[in-house]
């Protein structure tokens, strides 16, 4: 049998969750609620759906690989040049594209841990080394991360907000971190959840991009825009960096439907505002209930909450599953729960209560 390089065979394939329909069939339950993947419980914007439907008849043609109209719409919205934007098949693909563009086997990338699992996976696939810097009080320890940078470091990943903790790094500490980071290192700031942030002191990554630093800001249509199934995200960076990344981009990496839906979703500011409002209100509801139950949690700036239910996470996960509530174990003693619609959150809390009283 043909063998891949060792760094590939040593990888573990990503284990996808079962489709909800399959779980329901296996467990003999109905109307389960999915709070496992940080999706928007309100669904996509109606306008995005209409735009998607309108473009279906044209799918015999290849998509516009340059995403001309979406690039135009986004550059206007963000106030950046068109040449500063690259689209990906979800921001997942952009992480991989950044690694493919700037790392070679043996290079290092620094990241916080625990953080988004795709960073180390992508690094290892390319035969590179991931340097994991433990979180401090559930947040990126930016000082230690800057100290971990060596001559071999090409990329530093910052997830802000972080997944699975939902924590952010604030402006002042991020500015200090940028002062400490060598100018030849690419700082990838993954802002998949930035639209949910309410803290006014949230770090301003764009400022550093405008100042000419090597920053790659990743955002996505999968979270607040509710288009996770269409797979589209974007990077904003310096034109020179965008040009290099575009060299490794698959020519037709985002579909016609995804591009059309994304343009309409960008315009539907009301849907984004409603989604944020719901998340902020339901976060308070969940805090109140968790406090009452004496369950420890990490205050969040994203659309999910990391919590410590006081029993092994897998047991809690399985018990909730039998009640039709799907969450995600995050460690041996913690679960990550997406903030859902009010009724869904009530189902989750009721589920937790019934486990606690057993
Ligand atoms: C921190 C972070 N970055 C990126 C992504 C990837 O999102 P997508 O590829 O759907 O844009 C996620 C998804 O869960 C995430 O949590």
pTM of the predicted structure, to 2 decimals: 0.97
* Residue corresponding to tokens 């109905």: 30
How far is the centre of ligand 1, averaged over its atoms, from the C-alpha of 192 (Å)? 6
How far is the centre of ligand 1, averaged over its atoms, from the C-alpha of 189 (Å)? 12
Task: Name 308's bridge partners.
Answer: 296
For residues 279 and 281, what is the distance between their CA atoms, to the nearest angstrom? 6
Nearest Cα neighbor of 297 from 198, 164, 184 is 164
Cβ atoms within 10 Å, residue 261: 30
Judge contact between 155 and 186, C-beta under 8 A: yes
pLDDT tens for the 358 residues of the chain, in order = 889 988 889 888 887 777 888 888 988 888 999 999 999 999 999 999 999 999 999 999 999 999 999 999 999 999 999 999 999 999 999 999 999 999 999 999 999 999 999 999 999 999 999 999 999 999 999 999 999 999 999 999 999 999 999 999 999 999 999 999 999 999 999 999 999 999 999 999 999 999 999 999 999 999 999 999 999 999 999 999 999 999 999 999 999 999 999 999 999 999 999 999 999 999 999 999 999 999 999 999 999 999 999 999 999 999 999 999 999 999 999 999 999 999 999 999 999 999 876 5
Mutation test residue for ligand 1: of 205, 219, 222, 336, the one with most atoms within 8 Å of CB? 222
Judge contact between 47 and 268, C-beta under 8 A: yes
How far is the centre of ligand 1, averaged over its atoms, from the C-alpha of 1 (Å)? 34
How far is the centre of ligand 1, averaged over its atoms, from the C-alpha of 210 (Å)? 24
Q: Two tokens at 131?
A: 């340097």
How far is the centre of ligand 1, averaged over its atoms, from the C-alpha of 222 (Å)? 7
How far is the centre of ligand 1, averaged over its atoms, from the C-alpha of 37 (Å)? 9
For the chain, state the CA radius of gyration: 21
Residue 358 pLDDT:
54
DSSP secondary structure letter of residue 136: B
Mutation test residue for ligand 1: of 37, 192, 255, the one with most atoms within 8 Å of CB? 192
Expressed in angstroms, the distance from the first to the final Cα of the chain is 52
C-alpha to C-alpha distances, 6 to 110, 122, 123, 125, nearest whole angstrom: 21, 15, 14, 10
Residue 222 pLDDT:
98
For residues 56 and 46, what is the distance between their CA atoms, to the nearest angstrom? 16
SS3 content of the chain, % helix, strand, coil (to 5): 45, 15, 40
For residues 66 and 204, what is the distance between their CA atoms, to the nearest angstrom? 28
Cβ atoms within 10 Å, residue 282: 20
How many residues in the chain?
358
Q: Two tokens at 331?
A: 């460690």
Closest C-alpha to ligand 1, atom 7: 91
Burial of 270 (0-12, 13-18, 19+ CB in 10 A): exposed
Task: Name 186's bridge partners.
Answer: 155
- Which residues line the pocket of ligand 1, CB cutoff 6 A? 38, 90-92, 116, 159, 163, 190, 192, 220, 222, 228, 233
Nearest Cα neighbor of 213 from 227, 202, 200, 203 is 203
Residue 357 pLDDT:
60
Mutation test residue for ligand 1: of 223, 225, 229, the one with most atoms within 8 Å of CB? 223
Q: In this structure, what are the phi and psi dihedrals at residue 342, rounded to the nearest 5 degrees?
A: -55, -45
């Amino acid at each position: 049998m043909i063998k891949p390089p060792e760094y590939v065979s040593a990888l573990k394939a990503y284990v996808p969750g079962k489709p909800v329909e399959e779980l329901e069939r296996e467990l003999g339950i109905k109307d389960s609620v999915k709070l496992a993947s940080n999706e928007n419980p309100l669904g996509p914007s109606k306008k995005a759906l209409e735009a998607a439907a309108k473009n279906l008849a044209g799918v015999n043609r290849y998509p516009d690989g340059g995403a001309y109209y979406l690039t135009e719409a986004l550059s206007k919205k963000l106030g950046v040049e068109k040449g500063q934007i690259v689209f990906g098949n979800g921001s997942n693909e952009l992480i991989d594209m950044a690694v493919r563009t700037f790392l070679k086997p043996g290079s290092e990338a620094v990241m916080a841990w625990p953080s988004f699992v795709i960073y180390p996976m992508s690094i290892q696939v390319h035969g590179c080394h991931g340097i994991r810097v433990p979180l401090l009080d559930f947040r990126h320890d930016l000082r230690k991360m800057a100290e971990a940078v060596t001559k071999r470091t090409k990329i530093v990943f910052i997830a802000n907000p972080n997944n699975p903790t939902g924590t952010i790094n604030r402006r002042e500490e991020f500015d200090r971190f940028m002062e400490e980071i060598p100018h030849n290192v690419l700082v990838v700031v993954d802002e998949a959840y930035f639209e949910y942030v309410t803290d006014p002191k949230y770090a301003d990554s764009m400022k550093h991009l405008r100042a000419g630093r090597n920053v790659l800001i990743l955002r996505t249509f999968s979270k607040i825009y509710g288009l996770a199934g269409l797979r589209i995200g974007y990077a904003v960076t310096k034109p020179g960096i965008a040009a290099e990344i575009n060299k490794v981009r698959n020519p037709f990496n985002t579909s016609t439907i995804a591009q059309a839906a994304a343009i309409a979703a960008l315009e539907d500011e009301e849907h984004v505002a409603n989604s944020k409002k719901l998340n902020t209100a339901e976060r308070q509801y969940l805090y109140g209930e968790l406090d009452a139950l004496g369950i420890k949690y990490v205050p969040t700036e994203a659309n999910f909450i990391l919590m410590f239910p006081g029993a092994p996470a897998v047991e809690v996960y399985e018990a909730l599953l039998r009640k039709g509530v799907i969450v995600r174990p995050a460690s041996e003693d913690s679960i990550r729960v997406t903030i859902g619609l009010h009724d869904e959150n009530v189902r989750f809390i009721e589920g937790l209560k019934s486990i606690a009283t057993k």
